[in-house]
Amino acid sequence: MRAGYAAFAWGLIFALISFYWGCGGTLGLNTIGGTIEKLAREHDAGIYVAVWVTGLLKLAGAVLALALVRPWGRRRSRLLVTLLGWAAAVLLTLYGGILVIADALAATGAIKPKTPIAWTPLLWHLWVWDMSFLIWGLLFAAAAWYFTRRDRARS
């Protein structure tokens, strides 16, 4: 059950960061880098919409994580909650894992990007942003496993 609560907190924290940036906050933008940072600093409306949508998706993920461990989650369609929980686990783990591997390869020099490396964003993506998706996916996997196991035990 702890993994579900941790996945909820994880998603909520990262949703709040997205909402902060969606409201025009700039603290930490230098850790994102690239086009996204540039557009945010230029107050591009499209990037604000994208950040708000991302924040809402993270918030929905946080609620899904709670559904995997709270009694009200069992009262919903168990099949739907199970499928969504495992889908979140797989997608977040793959997304985070692929990005962390790519970041690590760039950071160690195993791959050489065509453009110079911006070290601050790269290291933040490696250890915080992309790693957070990998960890969130693993927490979802543990919570989905708990939900599935608990359902089978009750059958």
Report the pLDDT value the prediction gives residue 151, as an integer from 0 to 100: 66
Closest CA to 40 of 22, 16, 15, 53: 22
Instruction: Provide the residue range defining the domain that includes 142.
Output: 2-154
Output the pLDDT for position 154.
63
Tell me, what's the pLDDT at 133?
A: 98
Low-confidence ranges of the chain (pLDDT < 70): 151-155
CA 32 – CA 24 distance, rounded (Å): 14
The backbone torsions φ and ψ at residue 126, rounded to the nearest 5 degrees and listed phi first, read -60, -50
pLDDT of residue 152: 66
State the pTM of this model.
Answer: 0.90
Provide the domain count of the chain: 1
Segment (H or E) for 71: helix 71-75
